[in-house]
Amino acid sequence: MPDLKTLQKTAITVEDLIQIKRCEAPSPEFWDTFDRELKAKTLQALVRPQPWYSKIRLTPAKMAISLIPAGATAAVVFMLVSVGSSTLSSTTAVAHSMPAKAVVAPVVAQAETPVVQPRINDDVLLAAAGASQFVMDEITTENDASSYRRVMDSETYRTSSRGAVYVADPFTRTAAVPIAAAGLAHF
């Protein structure tokens, strides 16, 4: 005959039934085998080589990271070059409006280190372009024998909607002629 407690427990719920699931458990021996197997598998995992696709997956990221400094350097160099060339072209274009007397430094040295000077009047330049050669500067020294005229030809500049712009400055020793030379356009 069922006791009073059992009779009182007439309404069995889902939660009561699920409680029985909590009592399903493996035997204690199971854990010995489990630990042994787990240790072996863990060691295998430690020495297992990485699959080939993991390297491929990492390569683009690594490449991107390694390219960052190179890219940055290239960007800086490009920026310096572009800024430098624009400065050079503008300084070259304006380099010769100074009075000729002011230029006393050696000819070659001046060509290598351009000096920022006021811009040449484009009209004067264009007028001089009619001649095959014209004098840009006169370089005079104490000793007249070593005085030169700085000679340019019309190909050293080009005209555009923004005016005359020098594309090159061929002012070297060969472009310098003695002051005594004649037949050159002068401005």
Partner 1 sequence: MGLIKAIESVLVSTPTTEVAVDSDMVWVKKVQAGDVAAFDKLVVKYRERIYSITYNLISNREDAADLTQDTFIKAFTSINKFQGKSAFYTWLYKIAINASLTLQKKNRLRRFFSLDNINQEMAPAEILEALAVKTKTEKETLIKELQEKLNEALQKLSPIHRTVVVLFEIEGLSHQEIADIMNSTAGTVRSRLHYAKQQLQSSLQDYLK
Residues making contact with partner 1 (CB under 8 A): 2, 5-6, 9-10, 12-27, 30-31, 34-35, 37-38, 41-42, 45-46
DSSP string, 97-165: -S-GGG--S-HHHHHHS----PPPPHHHHHHHTTSSEEEEEEE--SSGGG-EEEEEEGGGEEEETTEEE
- The Cα–Cα gap between 91 and 136 comes to 15
Residue 38 or 81: the one with the smaller Cβ distance to partner 1 is 38
Six token digits for residue 155: 């190909």
- The Cα–Cα gap between 174 and 3 comes to 127
